Amino acid sequence: MTQLWGGRFSGVTDALMRQFQDSIYFDLRLWEADLDGSVAYAQALGRAEVITTEEANILQDGLDEIRAEFGQNRFELKDGDEDIHTAVERRLTELVGEVAGKLHTGRSRNDQVATDTRLWLKRQIVALRTQLVNLQQAILAQADEHLDVIMPGYTHLQQAQPVRLAHWLLSYGWMLQRDKERLDDLTRRVDVLPLGSAALAGNPFALDRQFLADTLGFAAISANSMDAVGDRDYIIEFLSWASLLQIHLSRLAEDLIIYSSQEFGFVEIDDAYATGSSIMPQKKNPDSLELIRGKTGRVVGALTGLLTTLKGVPSSYNKDFQEDKEPLFDTVDTLSMTLSIAAGVVATLKINEARIYEAMDSTMLATELADYLAHKGLPFRQAHHLAGQIVQQAIALDQPLSSFPLAAYQQFSDLFERDIHQWLTFKRAADRREIPGGTGEMAVRQQLELLRETIEEG
Ligand code: ARG
């Protein structure tokens, strides 16, 4: 068997070495992008009169046939197909004969693989972006439906202040919004065509690179051929983006795991996203969420792995770069799953309002006490101290702040008046925060509409 680069060699490649350098078992999934790139390249060769129109048409027909073979799952790999580029060229030769050998004129696998990967990634980004929006929509729908539910807001996982459940949910909606903005921003740098850079020095056949970019739908062409074949920054950026998004999903998962435990019982995960135990019949485990949390390790691992691979690689193309695809593919697959599962979990989540109210500790109203005194003119530091003492006593007497009699309050300060008890409800506490970004009813409604509009704007 002769390799496509075999001319210079008289000895044979060691069998293990061949296996070692083969990338076909993973880069096969670039087939569609590879064919698109080759079709455009054949046209560009024809337009530059490097090949005749007739030859360009023959190449096009052959590539179309290969596309059909892949599409119908009947493309056959053969021994010696070391990567997708080689496999396609080998098959093209079988189909159209010697003229197939003209397709690679002035092209290198270095600019070819970079083009394929960018084209493939651009298409995946479109799909991932839609899934991201679907998760945002699921969050919006739950927030809208439960706008009146007040829950404990936590800091340090300690009950802090009452908030709207919608407010907590929407906090994830905004995180995802930033993820979407970051994705759009990095897409601009993925959307650059390397084809025409050849191995590293540029194509010598006066090909029209703008035509290639327009045909393949790239927004720009690369400005430096050495940079173009040696650039994997766009993959690093994508993996960084993916890592942060996956970390956001992990945090959402963690909240829901805690909130769905027996001790909390604030939410119930739908049966569709839970599993049982092989020994404990009562168990309903939030495996979906644990896996979302757990898969964060492999996504961040893909990023750190590729960062490490790139460290110290000299300029332009080096075979180390072949190591970029598996982490990239795995991350796209992982995110595609985690985004869909997360959307499903959120959309089907049951909220247990009664359990949430039961769990709310009246000491969360301590800030209201301090604010009340501050309203009456007491400097906030003193008000805070006084409220702290009241809480200490309430805990000692095991009495909720809201049922402390007025006289008891007045022992701490004569600023306390009849209206104090109106201040001491969770709803009132939430609704006192009618400020943009706050948890008051109007503020959360506005926030919800703002997120909805932002999503609809694209
Ligand atoms: N399989 C290779 C990769 O993924 C394709 C490019 C090979 N280029 C080369 N000069 N050997 O990077």
Dihedral sign computed on CA atoms, order 322, 326, 328, 332: positive
Cα 162 to averaged position of ligand 1 atoms, centre (Å): 57
| Residue 426 CB–ligand 1 contact under 6 Å | no
User: In this structure, is residue 209 part of a structural domain?
Assistant: no
Structure tokens at 112: 């070819």
Roughly what angle, to the nearest 10 degrees, separates helices 233-259 and 287-310?
A: 160
Query: In this structure, are 232 and 156 located in the same domain?
Result: yes
Query: In this structure, are 176 and 292 located in the same domain?
Result: yes
- The predicted pLDDT at position 277 comes to 81
The predicted-structure confidence for 399-445, as pLDDT tens digits, reads as follows 999 999 999 999 999 999 999 999 999 999 999 999 999 999 999 99
User: In this structure, is residue 215 part of a structural domain?
Assistant: no
Q: Is 280 left (phi over 0), alpha (psi -120 to 50) or beta?
A: beta
- The predicted pLDDT at position 259 comes to 98
Query: In this structure, are 291 and 373 located in the same domain?
Result: no
User: Which structural domain range is residue 243 located in?
Assistant: 109-202+220-358
The pLDDT mean for the chain works out to: 96
Query: In this structure, are 135 and 246 located in the same domain?
Result: yes
CATH number at residue 260: 1.20.200.10
- How many domains is the chain partitioned into structurally? 3
- The predicted pLDDT at position 280 comes to 83
Residue nearest atom 12 in ligand 1 by C-alpha distance: 322
Whether the pLDDT of residue 3 is over 80: the answer is no
Mean pLDDT of 357-365: 95
CA 129, distance to chain mean position in Å, is: 8
User: In this structure, is residue 2 part of a structural domain?
Assistant: no
**1 pLDDT band (50/70/90 cuts)?**
low
**165 pLDDT band (50/70/90 cuts)?**
very high
Query: In this structure, are 228 and 298 located in the same domain?
Result: yes
Nearest-angstrom CA–CA distance, 35 and 422: 71
Domain boundary among 298, 326, 358: 358
Cα 110 to averaged position of ligand 1 atoms, centre (Å): 6
18, 78, 101, 340 from 11: Cα distances, Å = 13, 21, 23, 51
CATH number at residue 49: 1.10.275.10
Query: In this structure, are 52 and 125 located in the same domain?
Result: no
Whether this prediction's pTM lies above 0.75 is answered by yes
Enclosing H/E stretch for 169:
helix 165-190
Domain boundary among 310, 326, 358: 358
Residue nearest atom 4 in ligand 1 by C-alpha distance: 322
Nearest-angstrom CA–CA distance, 430 and 426: 6
Which of ligand 1's atoms lies nearest the C-alpha of 199?
Answer: 10
Closest CA to 429 of 170, 161, 169, 167: 161
Residue recorded with tokens 């050849």: 198
Query: In this structure, are 154 and 294 located in the same domain?
Result: yes
- The predicted pLDDT at position 260 comes to 97
| Residue 322 CB–ligand 1 contact under 6 Å | yes
Residue recorded with tokens 């694209």: 458
Burial class of residue 174 (count of CB atoms within 10 Å of its CB; 0-12, 13-18, 19+):
middle
Greater confidence (4 vs 374) lies with 374
CATH number at residue 449: 1.10.40.30
User: In this structure, is residue 62 part of a structural domain?
Assistant: yes
| Residue 329 CB–ligand 1 contact under 6 Å | no
**Ligand 1 pocket test, candidate residues 109, 110, 323, most atoms within 8 A of CB:** 109
Which of ligand 1's atoms lies nearest the C-alpha of 84?
Answer: 1
Which of ligand 1's atoms lies nearest the C-alpha of 321?
Answer: 12
| Residue 124 CB–ligand 1 contact under 6 Å | no
Q: Which one-letter amino acid corresponds to residue 421?
A: H
Cα 222 to averaged position of ligand 1 atoms, centre (Å): 19
| Residue 159 CB–ligand 1 contact under 6 Å | no
User: In this structure, is residue 212 part of a structural domain?
Assistant: no
Cα 321 to averaged position of ligand 1 atoms, centre (Å): 8
Domain boundary among 55, 78, 102: 102
The predicted-structure confidence for 4-43, as pLDDT tens digits, reads as follows 788 888 888 899 999 999 999 999 999 999 999 999 999 9
Nearest-angstrom CA–CA distance, 324 and 326: 6
**Neighbour count for residue 171 (Cβ, 10 Å):** 17
| Residue 23 CB–ligand 1 contact under 6 Å | yes
User: In this structure, is residue 5 part of a structural domain?
Assistant: no
Query: In this structure, are 265 and 131 located in the same domain?
Result: yes
Query: In this structure, are 40 and 189 located in the same domain?
Result: no
Nearest-angstrom CA–CA distance, 279 and 284: 12
Query: In this structure, are 62 and 183 located in the same domain?
Result: no
Biggest CA-to-CA distance, the chain: 101
User: In this structure, is residue 272 part of a structural domain?
Assistant: yes
| Residue 86 CB–ligand 1 contact under 6 Å | no
Q: Which one-letter amino acid corresponds to residue 59?
A: L
Cα 63 to averaged position of ligand 1 atoms, centre (Å): 21
User: In this structure, is residue 88 part of a structural domain?
Assistant: yes
Sorted by sequence, the CB contacts under 8 Å of residue 238 that are 6+ apart come out as 121, 125, 186, 190, 328, 331
- The predicted pLDDT at position 2 comes to 64
Residue recorded with tokens 């706050």: 438
Are 119 and 37 in contact by the 8 Å Cβ rule? The answer is yes
| Residue 93 CB–ligand 1 contact under 6 Å | no
Which of ligand 1's atoms lies nearest the C-alpha of 5?
Answer: 11
**336 pLDDT band (50/70/90 cuts)?**
very high
Whether the pLDDT of residue 281 is over 90: the answer is no
The predicted-structure confidence for 220-230, as pLDDT tens digits, reads as follows 999 999 999 99
Query: In this structure, are 19 and 153 located in the same domain?
Result: no
The predicted-structure confidence for 382-394, as pLDDT tens digits, reads as follows 999 999 999 999 9
Cα 105 to averaged position of ligand 1 atoms, centre (Å): 17
Query: In this structure, are 189 and 94 located in the same domain?
Result: no
Strands 267-268 and 158-164: unpaired
For the annotated catalytic residues, the residue numbers are 156, 277
- The predicted pLDDT at position 114 comes to 98
The predicted-structure confidence for 102-132, as pLDDT tens digits, reads as follows 999 999 999 999 999 999 999 999 999 999 9
**282 pLDDT band (50/70/90 cuts)?**
confident
Whether the pLDDT of residue 213 is over 70: the answer is yes
| Residue 110 CB–ligand 1 contact under 6 Å | yes
